[in-house]
Amino acid sequence: MAIVLGENRYGKAETRLVRVIRDGETHTLADLNVSIALSGDLAATHLTGDNSGVLPTDTMKNTVYAFAKEHGVGEPEEFALRLAHHFVDTQTQIRAARVGIESFGWERLGPHSFRRQGGSTRSTEVTVTVEQTQVVSGIQGLVLLNSTDSEFHGFPRDRYTTLPEATDRILSTAVDARWRHLRDDTDWGKSYEAAVEAMTRAFVHTYSHSLQQTLFAMGSQVLSDLPEVAEIRLALPNKHHYLVDLSPFDLTNDNEVFIAGDRPYGLIEGTVTRDDVPPAITEWYP
């Protein structure tokens, strides 16, 4: 039996970058967490310890900071594309570069004062090979809640089923979504805002018989509104809310007082796609 080296990659993970853009008295912030992974002709370093093809990960970190100064940051997708193309174009042994970025928002309080925006985080993952480019945008931790217009019933029951059927319940989730673009020349900021708005609008206006139904409605709305998106992957944890038993206090609870559950929780995942899009060049979600 032969033992061989399988797929491999290496890089610099979670380089923290804060870039201040100074326009006179008015400043703007870009706050990023950048991760880089390279793959290609790297067998020698694994098999013999020959590092002649291994660009140091410290160099990757330095490139992030130097590019932020020399070229600016712009939208996360722009910055990731610039970095990924640089590594593929300048390192002949590298066949593919993947750059993932988390982008943290700040709310302006004055010309040079800011407050960190809580809640969701914008994300980007760009993969550049010598032949193709793939851009995936996303959002993590978008918390949404409908206090009614949600049901869950008609499910199979067995000897271990204790869940009562619900015809009026709270539906809440923390959306993790990633969507793959058809092109690499999109207006990234406008597209991101439109995708988040489409998902939110679908959540608000869908009478839900299951979180799965809501997931499909959210994904479908994004594809309907954004022709530049090929497909979208959503992961929706069901943030359960349980009615409190108030009968010991001679009180009724007409869907008014709840315990917000922490764990365990249901996790609904799915991809909504067009039926005529080209396949992804590489796996683009965990």
Q: Which CATH number belongs to the domain containing residue 69 in this structure? A: 3.10.270.10
Choose the catalytic residue: 181, 239, 240, 241: 240
**Of 234, 213, 212, nearest in space to 222 by CA:** 234
Our answer to whether residue 240 is catalytic in this structure is yes
Task: Specify whether 127 is located in the same domain as 224.
Answer: no
What distances in angstroms separate CA 260 from CA 172, 264, 266, 273, one per listed residue?
Answer: 10, 12, 14, 33
Our answer to whether residue 205 is catalytic in this structure is no
Task: Specify whether 266 is located in the same domain as 155.
Answer: yes
Q: Which residues contact 26 (CB under 8 A, 6 or more apart)?
A: 111, 112
Distance CA 216, CA 270 (A): 8
Task: Specify whether 143 is located in the same domain as 273.
Answer: yes
Task: Specify whether 110 is located in the same domain as 152.
Answer: no
pLDDT of res. 286: 53
Fill in the amino acid letter for 51: N
Task: Specify whether 110 is located in the same domain as 169.
Answer: no
Task: Specify whether 127 is located in the same domain as 143.
Answer: no
Global pTM value: 0.93
Question: For residue 26, is it within any domain?
Answer: yes
Question: For residue 285, is it within any domain?
Answer: no
Choose the catalytic residue: 12, 61, 181, 241: 12
Q: What's the pLDDT tens digit per position in 136-175?
A: 999 999 999 999 999 999 999 999 999 999 999 999 999 9
Distance CA 270, CA 211 (A): 11
Task: Specify whether 197 is located in the same domain as 264.
Answer: yes
Q: What's the pLDDT tens digit per position in 78-109?
A: 999 999 999 999 999 999 999 999 999 999 99
Task: Specify whether 158 is located in the same domain as 272.
Answer: yes
Our answer to whether residue 12 is catalytic in this structure is yes
Question: For residue 286, is it within any domain?
Answer: no
Q: How long is the chain?
A: 286
The answer, yes or no, to whether residue 284 has pLDDT greater than 70, is no
Task: Specify whether 151 is located in the same domain as 268.
Answer: yes
What distances in angstroms separate CA 114 from CA 119, 190, 212, one per listed residue?
Answer: 16, 22, 38
Domain limits for position 222: 139-278
DSSP 198: H
Fill in the amino acid letter for 265: Y
Choose the catalytic residue: 28, 57, 273, 282: 57
Q: Is the separation of the CB atoms in 226 and 193 below 8 Å? A: no
